[in-house]
A and B are shown apart, each in its own frame.
Chain A
Amino acid sequence: MAEVTVLAATGNQMVAEAFRQAAPDVVSAYPITPQTAIVENYAKYVADGRVHTEFVPVESEHSALSSCIGASAAGARVATATSSQGLALMYEELHIASGMRLPIVMANANRAISAPINIHGDHSDVMGARDSGWIILFAETAQEAYDNSLIAFRVAEHPQVQLPVLTTLDGFITTHAMERCELLDDTTVADYVGQRQPCHPLLNGPAVGHGMFASLGGTYFEVKKAQRQAIDGAAGPIAAVGKRWAEVCGRSFESIDAFMCEDADYVMVVLGSAAGNARVVARELRAQGIKAGVARVRLYRPFPAEQLVETLKNAKAIAILDRSDSFGAQYGPVGLDTRTALYQCKRHIPTHNYIYGLGGADVTLQALHQVFTELRALAQGNLDQGLSYLGTR
């Protein structure tokens, strides 16, 4: 039976605790606001002898992920953490980690990307990694940052998956806010995460090479196809591993966290910490007899298109909220994903895409009320199906 400790903790503290309990062989990381406390806490666990991890304090994020790749290829369980410009500096290694099918777990404190320089929370950094072949999870709360981080190890190292996982939490809003959290005992967590069973380690096995030269189409093309099949096929293992954690901790795991969507006329699609605000507004509207719902995407890659459409199918109008923009595209990233999913499943429900909260701009309940009001206009054909910036001057 799991032993639970209730504590006041920040998202960063909870990710560090999850990493400590998963006990990676190697953590290689470089500090950056607002992720620093994860690395700092982990370094302290190492210094205090609470974990037997090889902690590598590198000189940049490029080196952080490079050394993680080496250690993971060798057969080690590996974790790291970054944010914003740090994640951007890892760009080439992101693709190497996924192309070599290395089950690295990386926490990202979601933060704006320069310029102009800004240290606050949005999803611009992680959306730069969305096509890199990593599995991506978004946490709403500090508690969920802990849950997702533990699930991440099981998913990454699952024999049918073997892919790196980004477990993300919103900068400051989730990384730095102290909330009521539950920590499970070390033994229960160790039993859940188990040990990594590497497929083709560089150490302790027959001589192999990883990521070797694959010239002119051919093998390269086939490896990429296998990567596509692997991430598409990860949905099943993710659901199974998530469900198993839900049984252990008593908190549900759904790739789409649906709130009052079954009979909702107006639904908001949202990622991360803003979902709680959206639910508060939806509940206020329900009290006034307006059927509002919220669909939060917890698993972002592989994108749970069918589950999302199943959640949205009865809506008369949908607001898709994006905390980043895809400049020059028709919509923001979640807007593109959601509209593609609706089209793919032949559901022609009007949508409007809202870009909100960039650079940590506060997501006020008033602004979310405005979105639901506009959805009524959208359902009646009195609002275009375009894109708006929410709450800007």
Chain B
Amino acid sequence: MAELTEIRWHARAGQGAVTASKLLAETALLKGNYIQSMPEYGPERTGAPLRAYSRISSEPIEVHNNIINPDIVVVLDETLLSIVDVLEGISSQGILVINSADSPDTVRATIGAAPGIKVAAVDASGIALDTIKRDIPNTPVVGALAYISDIVSVDDLKQNLINTFGKKFSQQLIDANLESVDRAVKEVQVA
């Protein structure tokens, strides 16, 4: 893994972006990494656009500012594309993971992503509605991210999901979340 990976999350309040960024960071922590996970707080209203940030590194992390040049951008809600420049500052070899039923080529054309940027699209909302029975796309998106990047393995992610969700959710809901990860791994398309 790279010494420091910086991730920026774009979502609407209520979609679980903060939980997703914490799930990813905690999984990385359990594998011996240093982590940071922080939401950018503003007036909190369900549906309002929000950002969250994660840093994962094999070395201690000293910076505490917002992430300006992310290695990875995760978009939980594609309706944000028309109001937020999600690619702002992304590194030239960056990765974009988006919750979208469109193909990655269509997404790339829509937002004008440079050729060096890897675009991964997964219909996380569709998967969440099928498995979790609610449009909470965070778990399948993190599953897709784990699969297409080398930050954490899908198996470690699922194990951590069992450990953390096990404390507060029913077995049925945990199984649905695990299934959503498997579906995302199978269905994510990269271009």
Contacts and interface: CB of A to CB of B under 8 A. Distances in A.
Interface of A: 6-8, 34, 119-120, 172-174, 176-180, 273-274, 276-277, 279-280, 362-365
B64 A273 contact: yes
Give the interface size class of chain B. 10 to 19
Contact of A8 (B22, B63, B66): B22
A119 B26 CA distance: 27
5 contacts: A7-B29, A8-B37, A276-B64, A277-B63, A362-B65
A177 B37 contact: yes
A8 B26 contact: yes
Contacts of A364: 65, 68
A362 B66 contact: yes
Interface in B11-67: 22, 25-26, 29, 33-39, 41, 61-66
A276 B63 contact: yes
Contacts of B63: 276-277, 280, 365
A34 B63 CA distance: 20
A177 B64 contact: yes
Nearest to A273: B64
A174 B38 CA distance: 9
A365 B39 contact: no
B66 A176 contact: no
Given A6-B29, A8-B22, A178-B25, A277 B62 contact: yes
Contacts of A6: 29
Interface of B: 22, 25-26, 29, 33-39, 41, 61-66, 68
Given A6-B29, A8-B25, A8-B29, A280 B62 contact: yes
Nearest to B34: A180
A272 to B, nearest CB: 9
A277 B68 CA distance: 13
B11 to A, nearest CB: 17
Q: Which 5 A-B pairs have the closest CB atoms?
A: A276-B62, A177-B38, A178-B37, A273-B64, A8-B26
B35 A176 contact: no
A120 B40 CA distance: 10
B64 to A, nearest CB: 5
B172 to A, nearest CB: 26
Contacts of A173: 38, 64
Contacts of A276: 61-64
Given A276-B64, A277-B65, A363-B65, A179 B41 contact: no
A172 B29 CA distance: 21
B64 A277 contact: yes
Contacts of A172: 38, 41
Given A8-B22, A8-B25, A176 B64 contact: no
Contacts of B34: 179-180
Given A8-B37, A365-B65, 13 more contacts: A8-B25, A177-B37, A177-B64, A178-B26, A178-B38, A179-B36, A180-B33, A276-B61, A277-B65, A279-B62, A280-B62, A363-B65, A364-B68
Nearest to A34: B41
Contacts of A176: 38-39, 41
Contacts of B39: 176
Instruction: Select the residue from A119, A177, A274, A365 with max chain B CB neighbours within 10 A.
Output: A177
Nearest to B66: A362
A7 B37 CA distance: 13
Given A8-B29, A8-B37, A119-B41, A178 B22 contact: yes
A178 B21 CA distance: 10
A274 B64 contact: yes
A176 B66 CA distance: 13
Nearest to A33: B41
A184 to B, nearest CB: 18
A307 B29 CA distance: 36
A60 B126 CA distance: 47
Contacts of A34: 41
B13 to A, nearest CB: 15
B181 to A, nearest CB: 20
A177 B68 CA distance: 17
Contacts of B64: 173-174, 177, 273-274, 276-277, 363
A179 to B, nearest CB: 6
A9 to B, nearest CB: 10
A12 B176 CA distance: 32
A119 B44 CA distance: 12
A180 B65 contact: no
Contact of B35 (A8, A279, A280, A362): A8
A362 B41 CA distance: 12
A178 B41 contact: no
Contacts of A280: 62-63
